[in-house]
Structure 1
Amino acid sequence: MSAVPVVVYPPDDAGGRRVRVDGEILGMARSIRDVTEFLRRAGLDDITEDEVAVSGMIEWRGGGPDVWQAP
Structure 2
Amino acid sequence: MVGDHNRLISTYFYRIDQPQVDLAELLKRPAVKEAMAAVIAADPDSFQAARQHAERIFTVGR
TM bin (shorter chain): under 0.3
* TM-score computed with the length of structure 2 as normaliser: 0.23
**Structure with more of its chain in strand, by fraction:** 1
More RCO (CA 8 Å, sep 6+): 1
TM (normalized to structure 1)? 0.21
User: Which has the larger Rg?
Assistant: 2
* Structure showing the higher helix proportion among its residues: 2
